[in-house]
Amino acid sequence: MTLTRRAALAAPALLLAARAPAQPGFPGRPVRIVVPYTPGGVSDITARLMAEPLAAAWGQAVPVENRAGADGVIGTEAVARSAPDGHTLALVSVGHPVNAAYYKLPYDTMRDFSFVTQTTSTPLVLCAGKGFGPGTVADLIAHAKKNPGVTFAGTGGVVRLAPVLFGQQTGTELTYVPYRGSTQAHPDLMAGRVDIMFDTVPAALPHIQSGALKAIATTGAKRAPQLPDVPLVAETLPGFEASTWGMVIAPAGLPEALLAKLNADCVAALRRPEVVEKHRVLGAEVVTSSPAEIRGFCESEMRKWGDAARKAGIVPQ
């Protein structure tokens, strides 16, 4: 992704121009939820599951707008430039804090947004082709120390940085093999052309269930419900955790009362039993939070993955 110097210099002025005082009487018109990714992913599905109960609560349409491009930067920038009146929200993933490690962004990841609530958490699964020798985390560490250069498939974001962090914490040398997405990586993983992958549970689960891939460990704070017999990486490597997750954000400058209302209404929509169940089937857990909690979590994730990227020599472009 290339972000021009002109765009970067113009962005602060555009952000300030958009920051008019919030309008009273929310919602006074439809409230759009921007999803800065292509349709079909967890963020997109979460936004659409939330839209119906929010529309009922607010008496206004809640359209979901997919505005993909540049790993989420294009749609997120559009939200940053919107008026802070509650009528433009975004549903973003862990890519929001991670993108600062990869790109020179046209907005500030923390300062230019209001943080409404977390929405979901989805662990990764450390998996390999069935012909790959190591079957446990301990075996993998020992194998990687004896055979520097174990290859891992990465598709960007946390899926790329989780093995980087794993290598740093275990003192092993892993080699990154880039892919555009899980669908492109899986055939090479199954055939043994690449050794391992830290993939999302929903993406890898069908191949694990079919036996084409083997699950070595999952990366959450607790075992994945879909893979209850698969141990955590943290059971061997204490403190290791890497998950994809979602959150609702809005332009910076939302009045506190409006932010509190958005939080309460979004949390209520997410906690509806049918919404929780549909996420469970996807392999995602609904997780909600206060605005302060999700802001703090985003800051900690930005530090964690930024540090991992810097140690790996990844320079924002």
Q: For each of the chain's 317 residues, which pLDDT tens digit applies? A: 334 333 333 444 334 333 334 446 799 999 999 999 989 889 999 999 999 999 999 999 999 999 999 989 999 999 999 999 999 999 999 999 999 999 999 999 999 999 999 999 999 999 999 999 999 999 999 999 999 999 999 988 899 999 999 999 999 999 999 998 888 999 999 999 999 999 999 899 999 999 999 999 999 999 998 999 999 999 999 999 999 999 999 999 999 999 999 999 999 999 999 999 999 988 899 999 999 999 999 999 999 999 999 999 998 88
276 C-beta neighbours (distance < 10 Å), count = 14
Instruction: Please tell me the chain's helix, strand, coil percentages from 3-state DSSP, rounded to the nearest 5.
Output: 45, 20, 35
* E strand or H helix at 124: strand 113-129
Residue 247 sits at φ, ψ, to 5 deg, of -155, 155
Cα 144 versus chain centre, distance: 28
Half-sphere exposure of 76 (CA within 13 A, CB side): 28
Record the pTM. 0.85
Instruction: Read off the amino acid at residue 96.
Output: H
Strands 213-218 and 285-286: unpaired
Distance CA(88)–CA(244), nearest Å, equals 23
**Residue corresponding to tokens 């930005």:** 302
Distance CA(147)–CA(132), nearest Å, equals 13
198 C-beta neighbours (distance < 10 Å), count = 29
Residue-level pLDDT at 24 = 63
Residue-level pLDDT at 40 = 87
Distance CA(191)–CA(212), nearest Å, equals 9
Residue 16 sits at φ, ψ, to 5 deg, of -65, -40
Q: Is 44 left (phi over 0), alpha (psi -120 to 50) or beta?
A: alpha
Residue-level pLDDT at 41 = 87
Q: Which domains does the chain have, with CATH numbers?
A: 5-122+244-311 (3.40.190.150), 123-235 (3.40.190.10)
DSSP string, 152-213: EEE-SHHHHHHHHHHHHHHT--EEEEE-SSHHHHHHHHHHTSS-EEEEEHHHHHHHHHHTSE
Distance CA(253)–CA(112), nearest Å, equals 8
Distance CA(234)–CA(126), nearest Å, equals 12
The four Cα atoms 273, 278, 282, 283 give a dihedral, to 10 degrees, of: 10
